[in-house]
Structure 1
Amino acid sequence: MDTSIQPSAEKLTISKWCHAAITEISCQEKGTMLAPGSALTLEQGRQTTGATGSLQNLKKFNNQDFNHLRALCLSQGLLFEDATFPAHISSIGPNLLPEDKLWQIQWRRPPELQRNPYLILDGVSRFDIMQGEIGDCWMLAALGSLTLQKRFLENVLPKDQGFQEDYAGIFHFRFWQYGDWVDVVIDDQLPILNGRYLSVHPRTSNEFWPSLLEKAYAKLRGSYQNLHGGYLSDALVDFTGGVQVQFSLKEPPPDLKEILKAADKSKCLMGCSTSVQVKRNIKLRNGIVQGHAYTVTGAVKIPYKNGWKHIIRIWNPWGHGEWKGPWSDNSPQWNHVEPKFREALLRNKDDGEFWMSCENFQEQFSWLYICNSTPTFLDFGDQHCTTWSVDRHINWWHPVLATGRNNYSPAGAVSTNPQYFFEVPDYDPKTYNVVISLMRKHAEDAQDAKKMKIGFLITMENSKVLRESFSLTRDVTNYFTLSPGTYAVVPATADNQEFEFLLRIFMKNQDYNENSNSLLSPLLPMDVPRQNEDNSYKTVFLRYAKQGSTIEASQLQQILNEVILQDEMTSVGGRFSFDSCRGILALVDLNSNGRLTLQEFGSLWRSLTKYMDIFSKEDRNHSGFLDVSELKSAIQTAGLAANEQLLRLMVLRYGDAARRIGFSDFVCCMLRLETMTYAFQNLAEGGSQILMTAMEWLTLVMYT
């Protein structure tokens, strides 16, 4: 500090100190706000951090608005006819049936098929579903699992429709597609062949939600023909927006039983499939169908004889056809189970659902699929209060790897493909802590897309390839136990086509507990339960640091506006300006270099989280602003002090014309008050007065 000029030092009390600190600085925090939606372009593609295509801001498939179209039909007394997915063989697909049968298809609305149709009758259940002529057991197995999880089901199946009120022959359903929720509108004309449903048909004759939902999904994928054969994993993700992992039952993980129990406990969607021996849908003597998809509806450990037994409950989308071996409906094993367990678990009906042992499950089935918003199925053992953070990236990949079909060069991928860095801070060798999911968008020619092998490499900072995961599926996902360090994910393909992809990196946060200063933002609106997703400061820092080790004011502005201001109430008071972010950065910039390290950002993040809690608590009328009395209470809650004169100046400096303070200004105000209060206390060394030179004073106030 320059001490060459030393005028007489003024004694400053803490009240004068804060008064000066609040009022002397020029309007650093009051800069010009960015226009709505403006943001700096991120390197390596765009990251999805906002609510685009969220359940609150749906994308309209084919630009069709359900409410507008229904109102139009009702006003004109017409039943809706969907020109974008017409009652024509073009919606069926040219290769699903022989040509003569295609022309025999008739399209009928539910009121033509049943006198008193309902969309939903006595609730939604997997037992409402019975597979039709189309080979879409993969989709129906996922749908059966969806019916068990209300939190996901309500996202897909809106309640604002039916046959009893405002019926106009129009319905809509919602699906997740590559990072966005999409609303799909259909008419209710269903394909009928020789008096039978071509598509799924309900067990109860006048309940039509399964048939209409299936039609909407067929429209989303282009035709009914495109539902004839597919991946159960795709449907699980499309119904939830979650992450799915496939487990080979021929080479199962050693903790398969624990994974199943954790998945059942955390209410995941689950399915399984059998291998294809010669041809699909061959029913074995034991009742299991080859080349077929099933729903896993339960996994429990029950007392059996003198020990315990792990058993799995499975449902066949055909609505009939069950396992005939041990633990089936009439097997003698149930005689050795206590009545209370037998009565709770056993349903002796030919409804397609059955129990089997975990050992038989691994013998009879090839793959297990588990899906949830975050990988909660990997939380088992002695873990408590774990959460998962997720980082998303959308970009295009280029055929830089190709050296011939299905050949690729890992070294070439690392040197030329986009790399996405992430840091693993914690490590428990007994648990999985990273899940990586790479999804490619469909090519125009879906058949060619199915032949394309995609995947990713995981490298360390020295570009050494540690892991490789490749598959012909749309979604390549794998789970890992990684030690602390910095890693990079490199998407790759062995084909000569460009594709857009969505990359998601899930990381477990093991140091979370309910009594700590949680790194979860309590105000961020999520499409998933809050406990399942965590914006840890380390994840946020790495996301916006542009692969560097520090962040500057423009990157801090992005974080505050894109991550912190996602909640409607916090955004009412305006966005963070660039100047305000420079001021905030200066308050925690210990090195005075205009940048924040990870440690400095962590300190700021904890303060932001604290002030979001306080703002939410004190904004009692949920207006998005604090008045003078609420601000006074917020200051007291934060453990700080301000007399009436200082409080008046703070409102004058940071408030609007109505003497109200919005969230962004509240943060700027409280961070300055907190920083200056602690600075005074440190300089005063426990006293109530300090001595400062002019240059010392100016150095503090002109930067901070």
Structure 2
Amino acid sequence: MDTSIQPSAEKLTISKWCHAAITEISCQERGTMLAPSSTLTLEQGWQKTGAMESLQNLKKFNNQDFSHLRALCLSQGLLFEDDTFPAHVNSIGPNLLPKDKLHQIQWKRPTELQRNPYLIMDGVSRFDIMQGEIGDCWMLAALGSLTLQKQFLENVLPKDQGFQDNYAGIFHFRFWQYGDWVDVVIDDRLPFLNGRYLSVHPRTSNEFWPSLLEKAYAKLRGSYQNLHGGYLSDALVDLTGGVQVQFSLKDPPPDLEEILKAAAKSQCLMGCSTSGQLRRNIELKNGIVQGHAYTITGTVKIPYKNGWKHIIRIWNPWGHGEWKGPWSDGSPQWDRVEPKCREDLLRNKDDGEFWMSCENFQEQFSWLYICNSTPTFLNFGDQHGTTWSVDRHISLWSPALATGRNNYSPAGAVSTNPQYFFKVPDYDPKTYNVVISLMQKHAEDMQDAKNLKIGFFITMDSKVLKQIFSLTRDVTSYFLLSPGTYAVVPTTTEDQEFEFLLRIFMKNHDYNETSNVPPSPELPMDVPRQNQDRSYKAVFLRYAGQDSAIDASQLQQLLNEVFLQDEMTSLGGRFSFDSCRGILALMDLNSNGQLTLQEFGILWRSLTKYMDIFIMEDRNHSGFLDVSELKSAIQTAGLAADEQLLRLMVLRYGDAARRIGFTDFVCCMLRLETMTYAFQNLAGGRSQILVTAKEWLTLVMYT
């Protein structure tokens, strides 16, 4: 295109420019679009499901099928040996031990150690666990909490295995990874150094579920070495698929006691940790270990003296080593407690578990971690039957599509990075109502990759209200937001591509207490298989030809198959070939009639953004927007349209009743957005531009 500006060219005001631009794209077949779950899943509350229902789309780690492999071993009379995580120093990791000790590692099966081994004896308990040489207290503290919540435990620890029936040296365990449950198969060869367990060892000599589960998690993470130091918050999420929030105990929220009470009441997983990264595993005189993770196993208020005392029960994954201060085992404070209460609460054993006051808890520990399927730990105050809904978005953050290192700047991030909209309809000013969780995904072959510094902005009317950043895998925070429409902008401070999972949890206050279906802490029903594409890159590769590009025909097939899944939102019809040619032309930066991956990524981001806006503004859930809803949608998108332009848009894209379905809405908004930005680029901040006849014809005849 000739971009020189000729003095003789006709002047165009921005109003005329947009009026002309929106009339070009054709959307003859009217339709609407449902969000693909690769980008958004809206779950209003949580449906009560069994463990297996929540695992219906289970992924097989390394494509290993437990049932098939076990049957094969049984038919051949062999014990399973896992080539993908072998009995070799590579599975330990090169830096966990000195080289001479690495080569002294021996691998032994439980059947070599015990005459009559069991996977589980007398149920699963935190007291089955005793930490070994590996510094994975962060994972074991989460595991200890998991044993208290059976609704989650059943997902992680399948019941179809053991040493008594169909034993073939093979076991499997499940973990949640970036939106999917993953089944991890292992053999039962365990590492020993000088005759001692290198890894976690069970308190009962012939019970092996802790050691085998830890090995499966090590395999998922790449090696045992990758368990040596980590984040309790990561393990809580990996074992539940839930949302976790961490609270600083050095600067605690004013309602910490209420949060703890709500967490205990709603069966949350809880843990805590002490500071001291440079003095890890140093035990103080009072019995507390520095740089160490613990499980919170209970919290209660008891009658004490002339009032009430809030005490917290904590467990050390070492399986020994306890607090020696007030409310510890045998402390004089228990003498002032009513005997029946003392009998119910006090377990005077060196098993790593102890009580302490809430005041001492805040003094001795640095962080509190709470996790559940939804943020039920924020359900405190005068609330009845509160439920939470969640929007889930999985996408790829690419420097080519955003601002790179400038993303740390709010202005740069908000202007160019992907934005995800949500609406807060009402709120209780006394309690938190929104939780946002952003998780960065590591490639399956790079589980030990370093975390990027990631975060997000919360904006309203393009103004940044909040910004959160952290050098952790999972950045999560909770908010009290007044009614309105907001956008979340994921970003990173580094100029590097990363795939992310964004979850936006919102509190609902309209739950009917008389309903026969109360909210459940169970995991949600997973979405159908056809909706399981995990990023725009996966979608692109599925439809692209051998030349790694998408033409209009392929784009039409993609849009209709991926986006048009819902009966209500498909009332207006499907994407026509002509409309897809128009969409492609708007995104075709190379003007070659095809979309590259980068160009498709820009389109995908726009499609998902307008999908969010359309669903949000379709207030009566009719599958169409009326004129007022369209006006609100344009404003939400940060674009402008006066009454005359709005009338033209409805005439061009609406039906006889002046309603616009989603397919037409997409075409209209893509046209309006593209042409608005094209004008702004040409105008350079001015309200008018000069173009040549050649420039004008090139614009309107192709784009």
TM-score, normalisation: structure 1: 0.69
CA 353–581 in structure 1, closer or farther in 2 if over 3 Å, else same: farther
Partner residue, 2:246: 246
8 Å contact kept, 1:556–1:581: no
Partner residue, 2:78: 78
CA 269–602 in structure 1, closer or farther in 2 if over 3 Å, else same: farther
Superimposed CA distance per residue, residues 464-511 of structure 1 (whole angstroms, 9 cap, x where no aligned partner): 110111111100000000000000000010012110000000000012
Partner residue, 1:510: 509
Distance 1:317 1:76 in 2: 40
CA 254–599 in structure 1, closer or farther in 2 if over 3 Å, else same: same
Partner residue, 2:262: 262
Distance 1:559 1:382 in 2: 41
CA 353–602 in structure 1, closer or farther in 2 if over 3 Å, else same: farther
Partner residue, 2:123: 123
8 Å contact kept, 2:373–2:521: no
Is 1:432 the counterpart of 2:432? The answer is yes
Distance 1:472 1:179 in 2: 21
- How many residues align structurally? 515
Distance 1:372 1:506 in 2: 12
CA 581–54 in structure 1, closer or farther in 2 if over 3 Å, else same: farther
Distance 1:259 1:173 in 2: 31
Distance 2:246 2:404 in 1: 27
Structure 1 residue matching 2:620: 3-state secondary structure: helix
* Superposition pairs of residues 275-674 of structure 1, within 5 angstroms: 275-276=275-276, 278-399=278-399, 400-403=402-405, 408-442=408-442, 449-450=450-451, 452-461=452-461, 463-515=462-514, 528=523, 561=565, 578=570, 598-601=618-621
8 Å contact kept, 2:222–2:447: no
Superimposed CA distance per residue, residues 183-202 of structure 1 (whole angstroms, 9 cap, x where no aligned partner): 00000000010000000000
Structure 2 residue matching 1:449: 3-state secondary structure: coil
Partner residue, 1:134: 134
Structure 1 residue matching 2:408: 3-state secondary structure: coil
CA 320–46 in structure 1, closer or farther in 2 if over 3 Å, else same: same
- Over the aligned positions, Cα root-mean-square deviation in angstroms equals 3.2
Structure 2 residue identity aligned to 1:116: N
Question: Displacement of 1:600 after TM fit?
Answer: 2.1
8 Å contact kept, 2:405–2:492: no
8 Å contact kept, 1:313–1:355: yes
Structure 2 residue identity aligned to 1:476: V
Question: Displacement of 1:144 after TM fit?
Answer: 0.2
Structure 1 residue matching 2:333: 3-state secondary structure: helix
8 Å contact kept, 1:53–1:59: no
Distance 2:563 2:432 in 1: 28
Structure 2 residue identity aligned to 1:67: S
Structure 2 residue matching 1:440: 3-state secondary structure: strand
Structure 1 residue matching 2:442: 3-state secondary structure: coil
Question: Displacement of 1:580 after TM fit?
Answer: 9.1
Distance 2:569 2:457 in 1: 39
Distance 2:398 2:164 in 1: 52
TM-score, normalisation: structure 2: 0.69
Structure 1 residue identity aligned to 2:78: L
Distance 2:295 2:369 in 1: 9
Superimposed CA distance per residue, residues 506-544 of structure 1 (whole angstroms, 9 cap, x where no aligned partner): 0000122233799x9x9xx996279xx9xxxxxxxxxxx
CA 558–90 in structure 1, closer or farther in 2 if over 3 Å, else same: closer
8 Å contact kept, 2:321–2:350: yes
Superimposed CA distance per residue, residues 203-253 of structure 1 (whole angstroms, 9 cap, x where no aligned partner): 000000000000000000000000000000000000000000000000000
Structure 2 residue identity aligned to 1:46: T
Question: Displacement of 1:408 after TM fit?
Answer: 1.6
Distance 2:571 2:65 in 1: 41
Question: Displacement of 1:403 after TM fit?
Answer: 3.9
Distance 1:118 1:44 in 2: 40
Structure 1 residue identity aligned to 2:523: V
Structure 2 residue matching 1:166: 3-state secondary structure: coil
CA 440–580 in structure 1, closer or farther in 2 if over 3 Å, else same: same
Question: Displacement of 1:442 after TM fit?
Answer: 1.8
CA 558–376 in structure 1, closer or farther in 2 if over 3 Å, else same: farther
Identity %, equivalent residues: 78
Shift >3 Å, 4+ stretches:
39-45, 48-54, 399-404, 443-448, 515-518, 554-562, 575-582, 594-599
Distance 2:522 2:342 in 1: 37
Question: Displacement of 1:576 after TM fit?
Answer: 7.7
Structure 2 residue identity aligned to 1:374: T
Distance 2:69 2:322 in 1: 44
Structure 2 residue identity aligned to 1:473: T
Structure 2 residue identity aligned to 1:342: R
Question: Displacement of 1:381 after TM fit?
Answer: 1.3
Structure 1 residue identity aligned to 2:194: N
Q: Which moved more, 1:392-401 or 1:168-177?
A: 392-401
Question: Displacement of 1:57 after TM fit?
Answer: 2.1
Structure 1 residue matching 2:285: 3-state secondary structure: coil
Partner residue, 1:93: 93
Distance 1:418 1:138 in 2: 33
Partner residue, 2:205: 205
Is 1:46 the counterpart of 2:39? The answer is yes
CA 173–75 in structure 1, closer or farther in 2 if over 3 Å, else same: same
Structure 2 residue matching 1:369: 3-state secondary structure: strand
8 Å contact kept, 2:571–2:623: no
Structure 1 residue identity aligned to 2:247: F
Runs of 5+ consecutive residues of structure 1 not aligned to the other structure: 1-33, 534-553, 563-574, 583-593, 605-704
Question: Displacement of 1:112 after TM fit?
Answer: 0.2
- The higher-RCO structure (CA 8 Å, 6+ apart) is 2
* Superposition pairs of residues 173-212 of structure 1, within 5 angstroms: 173-212=173-212
Superimposed CA distance per residue, residues 360-417 of structure 1 (whole angstroms, 9 cap, x where no aligned partner): 000000000000000000001111110000000001112444448xx82111100111
Structure 1 residue identity aligned to 2:473: R
